[in-house]
Amino acid sequence: MDEDLEKIKRARLNEIMNELQNRIKTLNESNFGTFVSEGVSVIDFWAPWCAPCHILSPLIEDLAEKYTKVKFGKVNGDENMRLLYQYNITGLPTVLFFKNGMLADRSVGVVPENVLEEKLKWLL
């Protein structure tokens, strides 16, 4: 019985993770401009080696779940250095907020979810 419950839990967790992955797009230099060109977009710049990035990631996932009309993306800074230079990103994690292709705000480092949410609300 416990084994069956564990299987159900794992299956549901996998479903939730897949839904979040579909809500948060992986971006790179070739698809970034098109992605941010319309509407409100929140872009998380991160790197696999960055411990603070892993702390911030669940906060971005929570916002993506709450704000379904906003586009969310992640950019691996190690693989997309031109975007780091283009947007003058010198520290990770950095979250950029776009409205209709224009950079509207940014957040650097790990900040509370409500700080990110207030920046997002301001754009809506």
Catalytic site positions: 50, 53
Alpha-carbon distance 113 to 111, whole Å?
6
Say how far apart CA 120 and CA 21 lie, in whole Å.
20
| Angstrom distance (rounded) from CA 62 to CA 121 | 14
For CA atoms 40, 103, 101, 85, give the dihedral sign: negative
Distance CA 55, CA 93 (A): 9
Q: Residue 62 belongs to what H/E stretch? A: helix 51-66
